[in-house]
Amino acid sequence: MKRVIAVLLVGVLGFFIYSNLYSTGNGNLFPKFGEAKLSERVSNKFIKKSVNGNESEVIYNQTKDAESGSANMVTSIVVNYRSFDTLGEVTVLFVSALGVGLLLSGKSRMKFKTPPNFILRSAVRVIAGIILITGVYIFIHGHLTPGGGFPGGSMIASAVLLFYISDDEFKTKVKAFKFLEGTAGSLYLIFGLLGLSLGGYFLYNFLPTGVVGNLFSAGIVPIIYIFVGLKVGSELSNLISDFLSEEGK
Amino acid sequence: MIQYLFIGLILIGIYGLLTQKNLIKLVVALNVLEVGVNLFIVSTGYVKDGIAPILFKGATSTNNNFVDPLPQALVLTAIVIGVGVTALSLTVVRKIYEKHGTLEMDEIGSESDD
Amino acid sequence: MINPVLLIAIPLLFAFLSVMFKKADKGFLILGILFNLISAFFLKETEVIIGGWKPPFGINLVADQYSIFGLIILNIVFAFSVVSSLPSVKKYSTLLLVSLASLNGMLLTGDLFNLFVFLEIASISAYIMSTMTKKYKGTFNYIILGALGSNLYLLGIIFLYSTVGTLNMSDMASKLHLVNNNVLLLSITFIFAGFAVEAKLIPFNGWVKGVYGNANDLNGGIFASAYATAAIMVFGRLFTNVFTLDGTLKTILLAVTVSTFIFGEIAAFSQKNIRSTLAFSSVGQAGLIATLFLTGITGGAMMQVANNAFAKLVMFTIAGAMYVYTGTDNVEKLQGLFKKHKLIGFGFSIAALSLVGLPIFYGFYVKIFALTNLFKINSYWLPAFILFSSLIEGIYYIRMLVKLWNPGEEGKESKDEYTTKLSLENTFAYAVLAVIIGLFIIYISVNPEFITQGISNYLSNIPGGM
């Protein structure tokens, strides 16, 4: 009975969404898939890097001092135009890692039922280092290539997870990670406050943005992404170690 | 139309939330809903024959058909928030299991003190 | 002149620092709260942009009279509830700082997506805070409903973004007339449903009893006063400034809010425990305030926000303290408690009577104001509902107060077992809180202009405000 009502409810909801979203009539309609008109959206100016009025074309490896000089436009939105959201996002992860730590504050490590075998152990020794370095590479190049602080940080955490799986005795130093997390978070905010005192705006990009496409470009964007990467990496590692902990015996 | 699929995922998630009694299944349903929402958001930024919004050699900010980068940035935020909520809800599920020894909503019973 | 962004950045910075310096975390907490409390009073009307990108492209923070009013109340009640319940803070100081920052952010932000981010931070901190009393089932329900609500809200703003291409609130408000009616209907329904979870409206308030009804002295005060204030003020901003409603949709949403307050008061009437009574009373108040916002009586709604925040702060803190120190909050078992602890009883009673809206108290003034304005816009059934629910509210609060003051007949078995557990040194902080807020409520009952001044300044600037 309950299922029938649920099916009916979901059906009504689906019909409600469908009939209103793809309706025809006066006014601006919801654009059909593939027909998004960028010229009517705020993101048009993000792509052209012309929020502050400079309409000239941005050319890879040539344009100097473009606003938010990051070649990856998603990064320029995430860490520059809408950096305040990212600060909030980092805080979300911070607070949920904190909550998991508060709830599962076991001292000793959970043991697996089957001990890790030889293949796993030796494979992890080889690939963990590669994963770590790739993670760092990804968040340092976040303003040039796809990726950035969040994927890079999760890669670092996945290396930590591999260590946990491959070694029954392995346990991270939670305190060190907490310290790293706190430092990275505070530095993010201190950079924001520096922008407030130097440029008059919180999270203002106060460094020169350089030539689009160079490693040393985009001002504070790569610096912030390094903080984000370190913070996400340490927070997710803390999550893993909290989930694999149990009350001491 | 691929967007129907994403709305379908959202509806499946809501159906799961309405009918399931198992705590883990509820978390899974929530995740299905979240994935549906995220895919839908990305799909609203797609432009026909568009390319990834990254400048590269030979591409300038005006001569290319870039897809909308803003929904992608929003989804990045939404994904991270989803991870946080999922981690927390799984933790609470584990605490419920430690306390009541069951994962079924009906078997937990009332929690009030008197 | 204080930059409003500091109200968010400083508590957040202290939160990150308090993780590094574990031993000083309480110090950081007090510092952060004090900073916010003082800066909220020095805020001037202003609008700041983040990162130097002008709206609608960047994110802006709007500190107008409306948000300043909310911020002052929010920071006062937050500070009071933390300071009066310091022993319950334990390991939660970092969390409290984060939630303070996010609540301030919710009230200040001028961007719809940024609001979603702050809403999520605030609700995740609320999930964690609600585990303080180890009632995990209530927390789990809260997480599921909260996550569902925020996803619906996100979907709603994405529909609007892809139609008109903006996320900024004022820009959205100016472009809303361009949107096709059906798309607008869908988006507003989803945004309303998303906010209904945090604002405790029907049918998304299933979590309230499990969370509010199991609160202790710290999180009860914070949820029922600080969170309720922030959520309902943001609701008011969205549905009076950004999305203006009319026609059938307005009638439907009004039906939702009206049924919320009637349901809340009736459910509260049938509860035996103090905290669950207060929980459903909060639901009722949220419904009442939301109704006032939707009908356009912004002034009355804001005055009721203040009334509800201060009253619920005292009542929830004391009810939580009763539970923490005596192990129960059943009205029958605690009979005659206030006879032993008169100061607490004084604050609690004043708060309850003001919330009910008894003559000579501040709440009476608010209700008269709201009712006369409702009559002005030729609405007669809404005042009838409000009066009916006020009657129910009055009955159960006065019944509760009578039981708590009156120890019962002579010769019956003594209830000392519970009342003596609440010793004098335990209750000192709560007594101070009760007296201060009680006197404050008496003060504003005599001088209602003290609160309404700021509101009338704000309302004179918007068209059609009352």
A14 touches chain C (CB under 8 A): no
Looking at residue C464, what is its pLDDT?
Answer: 42
Is residue A95 very low, low, confident or very high in pLDDT (cuts 50, 70, 90)? very high
A46 touches chain B (CB under 8 A): yes
CB contact under 8 A, B93 and C140: yes
Summarised one tens digit per residue, pLDDT across range A168-226 is: 777 777 778 888 888 888 898 898 888 888 888 888 888 888 888 777 877 888 888 88
Looking at residue A127, what is its pLDDT?
Answer: 92
DSSP letter string, C395-432: HHHHHHHHHHH---STTSPP-HHHHTTS-HHHHHHHHH
- Is the pLDDT at C414 greater than 60, yes or no? no
Is residue C44 very low, low, confident or very high in pLDDT (cuts 50, 70, 90)? confident
Is residue B27 very low, low, confident or very high in pLDDT (cuts 50, 70, 90)? very high
Radius of gyration for chain C, computed over Cα atoms and rounded to the nearest angstrom: 21
Summarised one tens digit per residue, pLDDT across range C147-158 is: 999 999 999 999
| Mean pLDDT to the nearest integer, C212-216 | 87
Summarised one tens digit per residue, pLDDT across range B61-90 is: 776 788 888 999 999 999 999 999 999 999
Looking at residue C280, what is its pLDDT?
Answer: 92
Looking at residue C466, what is its pLDDT?
Answer: 41
Q: Is residue B5 part of a domain?
A: no
Looking at residue B112, what is its pLDDT?
Answer: 57
Q: Is residue B113 part of a domain?
A: no
Query: Which has the higher per-residue pLDDT, C64 or C424?
Result: C64
| Mean pLDDT to the nearest integer, C47-62 | 87
Name the residue among A3, A17, A73 with its Cβ closest to that of B7. Answer: A17
Summarised one tens digit per residue, pLDDT across range A156-175 is: 999 988 888 888 777 777 77
**Which among A87, A83, A73, A81 has a CA at the least distance from the CA of A52?**
A81
Looking at residue C323, what is its pLDDT?
Answer: 86
Name the residue among A61, A96, A232 with its Cβ closest to that of B57. Answer: A61
Looking at residue C412, what is its pLDDT?
Answer: 53
C293: left (phi over 0), alpha (psi -120 to 50) or beta: alpha
Is residue B114 very low, low, confident or very high in pLDDT (cuts 50, 70, 90)? very low
Contact C305, C233 (CB under 8 A): yes
pTM score, whole prediction: 0.93
CB contact under 8 A, B18 and A10: yes
Is residue C421 very low, low, confident or very high in pLDDT (cuts 50, 70, 90)? low
Looking at residue C22, what is its pLDDT?
Answer: 83
Looking at residue C411, what is its pLDDT?
Answer: 45
| Mean pLDDT to the nearest integer, C415-430 | 70
- What distance in Å separates residue A118's CA from the closest CA in chain B? 31
Query: Which has the higher per-residue pLDDT, C310 or C466?
Result: C310
The CA distance from C335 to C274, in Å, is 12
- Dihedral of CA atoms C254, C292, C187, B38 in degrees, nearest 10, equals -120
Query: B20 contacts in C (CB within 8 Å)?
Result: none
- Is the pLDDT at B38 greater than 50, yes or no? yes
CB contact under 8 A, C138 and B14: no
Query: B44 contacts in C (CB within 8 Å)?
Result: 158, 161-162
C139 touches chain B (CB under 8 A): yes
CA distances from A209 to A47, A49, A81, A214, A216 (A): 16, 12, 14, 10, 8
| Residue span of the structural domain in which B38 resides | 22-47+66-106
Summarised one tens digit per residue, pLDDT across range C122-141 is: 999 999 999 988 888 889 99
Summarised one tens digit per residue, pLDDT across range A126-140 is: 999 999 999 999 888
Q: Is residue B34 part of a domain?
A: yes
- Is the pLDDT at A97 greater than 50, yes or no? yes
Is residue C416 very low, low, confident or very high in pLDDT (cuts 50, 70, 90)? low
- Is the pLDDT at C106 greater than 90, yes or no? yes
Q: Is residue B9 part of a domain?
A: no
CA distances from C388 to A162, C220, C353, C384 (A): 63, 27, 16, 6
Angle at which helices C93-108 and C65-84 cross, to 10°: 170
Q: What distance lies between CA B67 and its chain's CA centroid?
A: 22
Is residue C54 very low, low, confident or very high in pLDDT (cuts 50, 70, 90)? confident
The CA distance from C466 to C450, in Å, is 17
- What distance in Å separates residue A81's CA from the closest CA in chain C? 5
Q: Is residue B55 part of a domain?
A: no
Looking at residue B26, what is its pLDDT?
Answer: 93
Q: Which of B61, B97, B98, B99 best probes binding to A when mutated, by most A CB atoms within 10 angstroms?
A: B61
Whole-number average pLDDT of chain C: 87
* Range with lowest mean pLDDT among A85-99, A101-115, C209-223: A101-115
Long-range contacts of residues B18-26, Cβ cutoff 8 Å, at least 24 apart: B18/A2, B18/A6, B18/A9, B18/A10, B19/A2, B19/A3, B19/A6, B21/B104, B21/B105, B21/B106, B22/B103, B22/B104, B22/B105, B23/B93, B23/B96, B23/B103, B23/B104, B23/B105, B23/C140, B24/B93, B24/B103, B26/B105, B26/C140, B26/C144
- Is the pLDDT at C101 greater than 60, yes or no? yes
Q: Is residue B3 part of a domain?
A: no
Looking at residue C424, what is its pLDDT?
Answer: 65
Looking at residue C146, what is its pLDDT?
Answer: 93
Is residue C409 very low, low, confident or very high in pLDDT (cuts 50, 70, 90)? low
B98 touches chain C (CB under 8 A): no
Is residue C465 very low, low, confident or very high in pLDDT (cuts 50, 70, 90)? very low
A42 touches chain B (CB under 8 A): yes
The CA distance from C200 to C290, in Å, is 10
- Is the pLDDT at C401 greater than 50, yes or no? yes
* Range with lowest mean pLDDT among A38-47, A75-84, C202-211, C452-461: C452-461
Query: Which has the higher per-residue pLDDT, A85 or B57?
Result: A85
Q: Is residue B90 part of a domain?
A: yes
Whole-number average pLDDT of chain A: 85
**Which among C220, C248, C286 has a CA at the least distance from the CA of C81?**
C220
The percent of residues in chain C predicted with pLDDT above 90, rounded, is 34
Q: Is residue B76 part of a domain?
A: yes
Secondary structure class of A116 (helix, strand, coil): coil
A181 touches chain C (CB under 8 A): yes
The percent of residues in chain B predicted with pLDDT above 70, rounded, is 94
Is residue A147 very low, low, confident or very high in pLDDT (cuts 50, 70, 90)? confident
A30 touches chain C (CB under 8 A): yes
Looking at residue A113, what is its pLDDT?
Answer: 81
* Range with lowest mean pLDDT among B98-107, C73-82, C123-132: B98-107
A103 touches chain C (CB under 8 A): yes
Our count of domains for chain B comes to 1
Where would I find the beta strands (DSSP E) of C278-428? none
